[in-house]
Every structure is written in structure tokens, then in C-alpha cells.
Amino acid sequence: MKIAIGADHGGFTHKEAIRKHLTDRGFEVKDFGTYSEESMDYNDVAIKVAEGVRDQEFDRGILVCGTGVGMSIMANKVDGVRAALVHDLFTAEATRLHNDTNVLTMGGRVIDEDLALKITDIWVDTAFSNDERHARRVGKINHYKGE
């Protein structure tokens, strides 16, 4: 599995830990920054990761900012991306099983590093259920173009 990862200054330390953890597990990980705790705009990193997932250069993406909210909003602007903000283990699994999410967002100022790594493991290890009702709902998400 190829995973794109990125963060802003508020998620930098969690991103670094997640990147190392995934690499140690044998995943191919591309880091889109940021590369320090210097203030920067989360939007720029979120777009790079989300577009990489949309263009199928990566199977999934992980984004971390202070709360995870900004990254989630920005990533979901990219057609084909189903980003979910996750801060607990149940949601990490459910969002993959039921929503086939392809981008995970978390808040570096909301959860500790240990929980972020556990959420990451559950999220990357959980496959979409392919249950008819969930596939139908994901199809509606994918085909909605707004009015």
C-alpha cells in the first residue's frame, strides 16, 4: 500500500511519528511536509495529499493539523476524496468499513501520539466491507456533483 502523508505545524510531530511507524511496518510512504513546526497553511499540504489519492498515485492519505478539521475540509474539496476526521478507535474502523474513506485526518493537539498510531493502524488495516448498503451509499457520495 502506498500512503501519502502530510501535516501543518500543529500536526508535525504526530506526522513524523506516523511516517516512521508506517515505514517500519513496510508501507511505502511519501511525505508532503511540512518539515518543521514553523507556521504554515494546512491547505497547501492537504491539496497535495488529496490530489495524489484522487489521481491514484497513492492508495490512501493521512493528514494531521492542530484539530484535523481544516485538513478534512480541504481534502474533501477534491473530487473522489472521502476524508474522515478520526479521534477514536471505533470511528477509525467504522469509517473504513462503512464509508471506504481514503484520507484520514487527525488533530495533533486533540489526541496524543500513541492514540494517533493506534488509529492509523486500525485505519490502514481495515478493508471496506463491500456490503451492498454501504457500497450504495459510497456510490452516492462519489457521484454527487452538487447543484
Could you tell me the CATH number of the domain that includes residue 109? 3.40.1400.10
Domain count, the chain: 1
Q: Which domain holds residue 9?
A: 2-141
21 is catalytic: no
**Dihedral, CA of residue 53, residue 23, residue 32 and residue 57, to nearest 10:** -30
Which grid coordinates belong to 143?
457521484
Distance CA 103, CA 105 (A): 7
98 is catalytic: yes
Check residue 11 and give its pLDDT.
Answer: 98
The residue ranges of DSSP E strands in 44-145, in sequence order, are 60-65, 83-85, 103-107
The verdict on residue 108 lying in a domain is yes
The verdict on residue 147 lying in a domain is no
The verdict on residue 80 lying in a domain is yes
Q: Which of 14, 65, 87, 134 is catalytic?
A: 65
Q: Has residue 32 got a pLDDT over 80?
A: yes
Check residue 145 and give its pLDDT.
Answer: 84
70-113 pLDDT tens trace = 999 999 999 999 999 999 999 999 999 999 999 999 999 999 99
Strand order in the sheet with 28-31: 28-31, 2-7, 60-65, 103-107, 83-85
Q: Which of 9, 21, 87, 98 is catalytic?
A: 98
